[in-house]
Amino acid sequence: MRDEELTAEVVARLEAAPDPRLREVLQALVRHLHAFATEVRLSEAEWLAGIGFLTATGQICDDVRQEFILLSDTLGLSMLVDLINHGGDDPAATEPTVLGPFYVPGSPWREYGESMVTWDGATGQPAVVRGRVLSAGGTPLPGAVLDLWQNDASGFYAVQQPSVQPPDNLRGRYRAGADGEYEIATIRPVPYPIPADGPVGDLLSRTGRHPWRAAHIHFIVTAPGHVPVTTHIFDSESDYLDSDAVFGVKGSLVKRFATQPDGTALLEHDFVLVSTDDRGGGTAPAPRS
């Protein structure tokens, strides 16, 4: 049996799949996977090493760590999926970017202007984030929900330090007011390394790449009748904007944190959502498992 005959046989056996989309995806996966192995002349030892890498990636995953999302992020696959699905969006709309591995559903509801800092040991420059949530046509979206999470100035998210930070530190959900306005008290984010003590970190090291992410705050913004957006706002003064480890930086998402006379950093930013009528529907991002 020749290489191409084996590939054709595997693809043919998938013809029986009753779900047409599953059939399309798996047949394409087989063709590309077989072509990859043929192109690089994959050795048995390399194949086994790959199996070992994927096994180790799965074994390090738990309720708060998703190494496969980290792998997808660092290979640029997460951003590629983002570009495929959002490349044709209204240019006036807020651009999305990667979800990241530290999203935790069910953040506490907070009042307008309330602080997300709940840890006495929190450090960093106090910050205020405010703006409006609007439709692509400029109409305010009252009641829009902003779901935020970010790291402490130590570089860690609360979910990474369950024995140090309270689980709700620097996380929160806010509702926009009657004019779509929102205001959040927090601290200025800092650059941080993605977890580098596992298979993904080892792969980055072996390929001469650094694990650092540019400073940012995560947002998921939703409003009835509009397509949700999962995005970040990046600090324009941050390091690593041009070499973010997960390729997540987009120019429109880089904003200035302006230091005020009282020492507080102020970030002003409006989020703009696309109507589901213009997009033909839309779903919220699937939370990591």
Contact 260, 122 (CB under 8 A): no
Percent of the chain at pLDDT exceeding 70: 96
pLDDT digits (tens, 9 = 90+) for 218-247: 999 999 999 999 999 999 999 999 999 999
- Compute the average pLDDT of residues 59-85: 93
- Picking from 270, 271, 268, the residue whose alpha carbon sits closest to that of residue 257 is 268
State the pLDDT confidence band at 283, using cuts at 50, 70 and 90.
very low
Q: What is the average pLDDT score of the chain?
A: 94
CATH number of 88-279: 2.60.130.10
Contact 149, 107 (CB under 8 A): yes
Per-residue pLDDT for 289 more than 60? Answer: no
Give the separation between CA 232 and CA 229, rounded to whole angstroms.
10
What's the pLDDT at 91? 87
- The ranges of the chain annotated as CATH 2.60.130.10 are 88-279
The amino acid at residue 155 is G
What's the pLDDT at 26? 98
| Region of 194 on the Ramachandran plot (φ > 0 left; ψ -120 to 50 alpha; else beta) | beta
pLDDT digits (tens, 9 = 90+) for 19-49: 999 999 999 999 999 999 999 999 999 999 9
CA angle 120, 158, 228 (to 5 degrees): 120
What's the pLDDT at 282? 44
- Compute the average pLDDT of residues 52-59: 98
- Residue with the bigger pLDDT between 64 and 98: it is 98
